[in-house]
Amino acid sequence: MGQAWDPGAPGVLTLPSGRRVRGRGLRDPLPPGPVPELGVYLLGGRPDPQPWESRWVRWPDFRLPADPAELRTALHHAWERATGERVELACGGGTGRTGTALACLAVLDGVPPGEAVAFVREHYRRRAVETPAQRGFVVRFTP
């Protein structure tokens, strides 16, 4: 097992439990430094293979996950692994789908669903969780 992300690294969100997860956009270059040990990729089509363990959750841009139960399973797995490993969540731009998934992860970590979007916007990206449907998904998300 590796080490968690540096809290000051780009895109790293520290959850209330102290777990750290990196969010990013796949259209951007891979940030310098350590690579993920697990990546959860939130895309409409299958992502390119990565040299680290990865999981794909089908999720078209500006929409909701095709299978919410699959997302919940992937997020539980990511949350467990983030205890001491480098886990990243990523979509094309790193804002809408990634922000929504990070907000759901924050709910798993104990942030009330009604506060999770604000938490992610404050600690990850100001414009995270882009659509009303995505915000509603977070509010209705249950661990």
Q: What is the CATH number of the domain that holds 18?
A: 3.90.190.10
Hey, what are 71's tokens?
């997302």
Q: How high is the pLDDT of residue 38?
A: 98
Vertex 112: Cα angle to 107 and 118 (nearest 5): 85
Does residue 7 sit within a domain?
A: no
Look at the chain and report how many structural domains it folds into.
Answer: 1
**What CA–CA distance (Å, rounded) separates 91 from 95?**
8
Tokens of 118: 């604000």
Residue 2 resides in a domain: no
Which structural domain range is residue 33 located in? 12-140
The verdict on residue 112 lying in a domain is: yes
What's the mean pLDDT in 56-78? 97
pLDDT at 77: 98
The arrangement of strands across the sheet holding 20-25 comes to: 12-14, 20-25, 87-91, 38-43, 53-58
Q: Is residue 125 part of a domain?
A: yes
Asked whether residue 1 carries a pLDDT value surpassing 60, the answer given is: no
Dihedral angle, C-alpha 77, 78, 84, 87, nearest 10 °? 150
List pLDDT tens digits, range 8-27.
999 999 999 999 999 999 99
As a whole number of angstroms, the distance between CA 7 and CA 107 comes to 20
Task: Answer yes or no: is pLDDT of 94 > 70.
Answer: yes
C-alpha–C-alpha distance, residues 119 and 43, integer Å: 23
Is residue 32 in some structural domain? yes
> What stretches of 30-131 show up as alpha helix (H) in DSSP?
68-81, 96-108, 113-123
Instruction: Please determine, for residue 2, whether its predicted confidence score (pLDDT) is greater than 80.
Output: no
Residue 1 lies in a domain: no
31 pLDDT above the threshold of 60: yes
Residue 65 lies in a domain: yes
